[in-house]
Amino acid sequence: MSGIKGALYVADLNTLLIFNNSIRCKVLDIVMPRITYLGSATTTISTCVMITITGNGLIRKMGIQALFALALSHLFVQLLKNSVCRLRPKDVLSNINTFDVSLDYYSFPSGHTTAAFAIAATLALNLPILAVICFPIALIIAISRLYLGVHYPSDVLAGMAIAILTSVILQIIINH
């Protein structure tokens, strides 16, 4: 079993290094720290509130549902962060490029990724045409977390899974 765990860690680490070291360039060094803030609490909550306030009918319902998806998914994120207590790559790896982004202490799962995918999934479930816009934005936010060296790929994948599962469950409950 430890062989599988070791192989998964090596794959996680190697994938992180591809995003953090191999594709590094001056343009991304400027853009990625800005993109990552699209997944911040301030931006994601504000986005949902704006959708709720400015929308009517289905749009308003999507905004409210996205707020619930954010809240529920982040409950799971905080429970996992405080249970797993995984240190961030920038705190344990010497060969990582780091950037000046504000962080809480633990890495698993990625809260920014969870927030971005909770909104994307909720909007796409209610208005499928939005998937073409929302999921690529959420994916770029997730990639920014790797590029900035603040999450491992497994942190990002866990955030995606939590967000999508939470959004789907809420959709089922609401439409039941």
Cβ–Cβ contacts within 10 Å for residue 55, how many?
Answer: 14
The answer to pTM > 0.85 is yes
Q: Which of 120, 100, 117, 119 is nearest to 155 (CA)?
A: 117
Task: Mark whether 176 is an active-site residue.
Answer: no
Q: Which one is catalytic: 65, 70, 151, 170? A: 151
Give phi and psi for 87, each to the nearest 5.
-70, 150
Q: Which of 41, 14, 36 is nearest to 153 (CA)?
A: 14
Could you list the residue range(s) of the whole structural domain that residue 130 is in? 2-175
Predicted confidence (pLDDT) at residue 40 exceeds the cutoff of 70: yes
pLDDT at 102: 65
pLDDT at 176: 80
Give the mean pLDDT of 102-130. 92
Total domain count, the chain:
1
Identify the CATH number of the domain in which residue 81 sits: 1.10.606.20
Q: Which one is catalytic: 86, 88, 90, 112? A: 112
Question: What pLDDT, in 10s, does the model give residues 43-97?
Answer: 999 999 999 999 899 899 999 999 999 999 999 999 999 999 888 888 888 878 7
**Alpha carbon distance 123, 100 (integer Å):** 31
Predicted confidence (pLDDT) at residue 1 exceeds the cutoff of 60: no
